[in-house]
A and B are shown apart, each in its own frame.
Chain A
């Protein structure tokens, strides 16, 4: 009996830890941002970073998705929907997440009042790659009217797995910076998206022409990182003057496939694999 009670207490304590573990410290960021009201960057000194993501080699073909089981979605696509793992054309790579990784110092940025929308439409996420600021509303929209579930598997943030059985919107936030949070729908196994969370608004996603643009930066020297779901990350350093524009070019090639891609590695309590332990320890 006594033992059972001890075990129970132990379990209760553990339960408390498991609950309170996620993202306590990072909340401070948001608080600071709220305190410092007003624009952090004065409009007359704001700088801009633009750039392009080049791609060499042969991109894997975007494969058609068999949506026959879900007529509601299949009807929405005149062309068969394809995977968006590598979207490259004319030597340019799209869907690369580019963000300011370092150089902003201790500046804190207010949380935008408007949210960022991710839309599930035709059983495809729009957009496929998404940047959002900590504390900013992520508006998840179901335009299809059939069941989608939004299963996020972050490492540092509190994950969620919620469903939308009808046309509706759900709002969620992330409290901590994280590169990148995988998003999936378990009902439609082909649906994938990635969300990057930063404590500042300086992030962009390369378009189909490979270009991106980060605006309204304070002058300074920045480390810019590009992230791609297949080809991994690259960083560049760039210095911008007041009202100036910095140019950054990232070069990806098809032989970078298979490199480690930093992204949400869900905290798995059950991962007792000694190999991975060693690997993590060595870092």
Chain B
């Protein structure tokens, strides 16, 4: 059991910044928590009913009201102000925050897998040497990665707990996500948004390589012919049918023996 309020070690550039905001809030709210609860208990003990005791007849105190309106207001505004720049840095994956040499990746979520498209050696997506890995996210250390995140079916949430990254993957939208890992190692990719009955199994492994190791991994993977991660022929055939909707409704019996080519042309 872990009763600590410390966060796991952050391994991304903005991760430690996010954590420092967290600890700031923890200190502020922790102090308020302790003060309020101690005051409550002290009042309960001190002003408990005893024979002959009578409560003070008071309706309030305007100065106090102003004080405890203004002080919390200032505190939360300070927190908001400090959060703002970290938030924009972590969330807006544009030139202002992401270095120009960022590695482009595409992550397509579907029930219940993360398909990661790697750009191959040319580091450009949508070229011939792209390849797809299922549930495996490989990243180079100390280099920014820009991910185009989308989903095929329902909303998933791309969660890299150690890197303090979380972004919903929404069908119909491509959302830019960026991260720069700061430490090589094995981490976890999880789904944080309920996406169906396999939600709890929708996880992937994250491997952060040293720069050289990442390059050799790309060469190794890129050299292989596209493996099973690309849609299998059966699927594509099926998908074509579906898209064209040529396959008949209930009564297949009435379709003749040689509909294939005709239907294809019709479609």
Contacts and interface: CB of A to CB of B under 8 A. Distances in A.
A16 B240 CA distance: 32
A147 interface: yes
Interface in B251-267: 252-253, 255, 257, 259-261, 263-264, 266-267
Q: Chain A interface: which size bin? A: 35 or more
A187 B245 contact: no
B245 A262 contact: no
A86 B264 contact: no
Interface in A226-283: 229-230, 232-235, 256-263, 265-266, 271, 273, 275-277, 279-280, 282-283
B185 interface: no
B29 to A, nearest CB: 38
A169 interface: no
17 contacts: A60-B233, A64-B227, A101-B253, A176-B250, A187-B113, A229-B237, A256-B260, A259-B260, A260-B237, A260-B244, A261-B247, A262-B255, A265-B242, A276-B243, A279-B246, A279-B267, A283-B246
Contact of A276 (B112, B198, B244): B244
B241 interface: yes
Interface in A137-157: 147, 149, 155-156
A86 B233 CA distance: 9
A45 interface: no
- Main SS class of interface, A: loop
Contacts of A176: 250
A258 B239 CA distance: 11
A260 B263 contact: yes
Nearest to B226: A63
Given A155-B249, A259-B261, A262-B252, A186 B198 contact: yes
A273 B244 CA distance: 9
Contact of A260 (B198, B201, B246): B246
A163 B202 CA distance: 14
A253 B110 CA distance: 34
Contact of A64 (B201, B228, B249): B228
A69 B136 contact: yes
Contact of A192 (B232, B242, B249): B232
Interface of A: 60, 63-66, 69, 83, 85-86, 101-102, 147, 149, 155-156, 161-163, 176, 178-179, 182, 186-187, 189-190, 192, 225, 229-230, 232-235, 256-263, 265-266, 271, 273, 275-277, 279-280, 282-283
Interface in B170-216: 196-198, 200-201, 204-205
B245 A163 contact: no
Contacts, number: 134
Q: Chain B interface: which size bin? A: 35 or more
B150 interface: no
A275 B198 contact: no
B91 interface: no
Contacts of A279: 244-246, 263, 266-267
B242 A163 contact: no
B135 to A, nearest CB: 5
Contacts of A262: 241, 247-248, 252, 255
Interface centre among A147, A186, A276, A282, by most B CB within 10 Å? A186
Contacts of A179: 252
A162 B235 CA distance: 21
A147 B113 CA distance: 13
A275 B244 contact: yes
A260 B250 CA distance: 16
Contact of B264 (A101, A155, A259, A283): A259
Contacts of A283: 246, 248, 255
Interface centre among A178, A271, A280, by most B CB within 10 Å? A280
Contact of A155 (B111, B205, B250, B255): B250
A234 B257 contact: yes
A190 B242 CA distance: 19
